């Protein structure tokens, strides 16, 4: 893609569009402890109507957010609109390769707050995938919504 920079989303209108258009969120690095952001952020999103698909080999087969956790993205039964990443930045290049090897492409890969890897973001954006870095979906959703529906 020639203008891949346009797919690096960091503005309110771009974030709102992602939140408005997405229905299914695969959570890479999902956690089972309710005090962990990788648990309570997807729980919040589920309460807002998103379908959550937890991904973590440590919890494979265990139900999180009312659905069975899978060990890897390739084991998801259906494509996800967003892959929300709760993994350390040094793992992101390998995860970018994993995402690009899937038989389907997410519309967005969202690196949670504190998570940034410009090389992985560029690789994904060059493949036509929107990328959000270093932002948490929960406060962004709260900030960009009004009474449960996304503000225009």
What pLDDT score was predicted for residue 31? 97
DSSP codes of every residue in 46-82: HHTTPEEEEE-GGGTTSEETTEE-BSSGGG-SS--SE
Q: What stretch of H or E contains 25? A: strand 24-28
Q: How many H helices and E strands in the chain? A: 5, 9
| Axis-axis angle for helices 137-144, 12-21 (nearest 10) | 100
Which ranges of the chain have pLDDT less than 70? 1-2, 146-152
Q: Give the residue from 118, 110, 97 showing the smallest Cα distance to 37.
A: 110
Would strands 82-85 and 24-28 be described as parallel, antiparallel, or unpaired?
parallel
Q: Provide the token pair at 73.
A: 């993205």
* Residue 45 near residue 141 (C-beta atoms within 8 A): yes
What pLDDT score was predicted for residue 2? 60
- Quick one: 46 exposed, middle or buried, by C-beta within 10 A (0-12, 13-18, 19+)? middle
Would strands 108-111 and 82-85 be described as parallel, antiparallel, or unpaired?
parallel
Q: Give the residue from 128, 148, 89 showing the smallest Cα distance to 3.
A: 128
pLDDT one-digit tens code per residue, 86-129:
999 999 999 999 999 999 999 999 999 999 999 999 999 999 99
Tell me if the pTM is above 0.85. Answer: yes
In degrees, rounded to 5, the angle at the alpha carbon of residue 132 between the alpha carbons of residues 138 and 112 is 45
What pLDDT score was predicted for residue 1? 47
* Domain spans, the chain: 4-78+88-136
Domain 4-78+88-136 fold: Rossmann fold (3.40.50)
């Amino acid at each position: 893609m020639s203008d891949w920079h346009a797919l690096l989303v960091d503005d309110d209108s771009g974030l709102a569009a992602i939140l408005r258009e997405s229905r299914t969120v695969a959570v890479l690095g999902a956690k089972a402890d309710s005090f962990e952001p990788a648990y309570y952020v997807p729980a919040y999103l589920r309460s807002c109507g998103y379908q959550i698909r937890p991904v973590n080999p440590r919890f494979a087969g265990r139900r999180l957010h009312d659905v069975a956790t899978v060990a890897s993205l390739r084991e998801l039964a259906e494509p996800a609109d967003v892959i929300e990443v709760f993994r350390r930045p040094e793992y992101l290049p390998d995860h970018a390769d994993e995402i690009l090897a899937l038989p389907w492409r997410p519309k967005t890969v969202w690196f949670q707050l504190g998570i940034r890897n410009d090389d992985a973001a560029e690789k994904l954006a060059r493949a036509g995938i929107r990328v959000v870095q270093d932002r948490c979906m929960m406060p962004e959703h709260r900030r960009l919504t009004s009474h449960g529906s996304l503000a225009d």
